[in-house]
């Protein structure tokens, strides 16, 4: 269960580095993008097993990026988990309704984060 390719789309460098280092330390391969536009292009080119998508991004945001990813055959079936600072019940509902396969609240907690990545790569869908 190692070696899965995870695309991280996150504009805050320290968050991106933390997530990347954690994933790589646990045997995952990573791709990184700091904008949704770049992330969508990487996803189409590399077919990651999982996309971790920040919601607040420069340019198009994570909600619009999800719509675009889900509307293209190449990435329609790829699990997408939101990385979000939002944690209110209404926000969770909004993410679920938008079609995210799960969400993670920042700052992340290491063990739940790794468990959720593992589950998402295995196709376990979590309701937000
Ligand atoms: Mn952000």
What is the distance in A from the centroid of ligand 1 to the CA of 53? 9
104-119 average pLDDT score: 94
pLDDT at 126 > cutoff 70:
no
Q: Residue written as tokens 């280092």?
A: 21
* Of 25, 22, 41, the residue nearest 9 (C-alpha): 41
What is the distance in A from the centroid of ligand 1 to the CA of 49? 22
pLDDT at 91 > cutoff 90:
no
Residue ranges near ligand 1 (ion) with Cβ within 5 Å:
11, 54, 56
Work out the pLDDT band at 35, boundaries 50, 70, 90: very high
What is the distance in A from the centroid of ligand 1 to the CA of 94? 17
What is the distance in A from the centroid of ligand 1 to the CA of 34? 9
Q: At what angle do helices 110-121 and 13-25 cross, to 10 degrees?
A: 70
What is the distance in A from the centroid of ligand 1 to the CA of 56? 4
For position 1, what pLDDT does the model report? Answer: 53
Q: Do 52 and 79 contact (CB within 8 A), yes or no? A: no
- pTM for the full model? 0.93
- DSSP lists the bridge partners of residue 31 as 7
pLDDT greater at residue 124 or residue 29: 29
What is the distance in A from the centroid of ligand 1 to the CA of 12? 6
């Amino acid at each position: 269960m190692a070696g899965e390719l995870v695309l991280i789309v996150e504009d805050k460098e320290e968050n991106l580095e933390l997530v990347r280092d954690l994933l790589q330390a646990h045997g995952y391969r990573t791709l990184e993008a700091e904008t949704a536009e770049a992330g969508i292009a990487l996803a189409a080119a590399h077919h990651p097993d999982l996309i971790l998508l920040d919601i607040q991004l420069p340019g198009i945001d994570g909600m619009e990026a999800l719509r675009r990813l889900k509307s293209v055959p190449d990435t329609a079936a790829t699990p997408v988990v939101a990385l979000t600072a939002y944690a209110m019940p209404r926000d969770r509902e909004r993410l679920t309704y938008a079609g995210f396969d799960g969400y993670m609240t920042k700052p992340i907690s290491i063990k739940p984060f790794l468990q959720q990545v593992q589950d998402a790569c295995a196709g376990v869908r979590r309701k937000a």
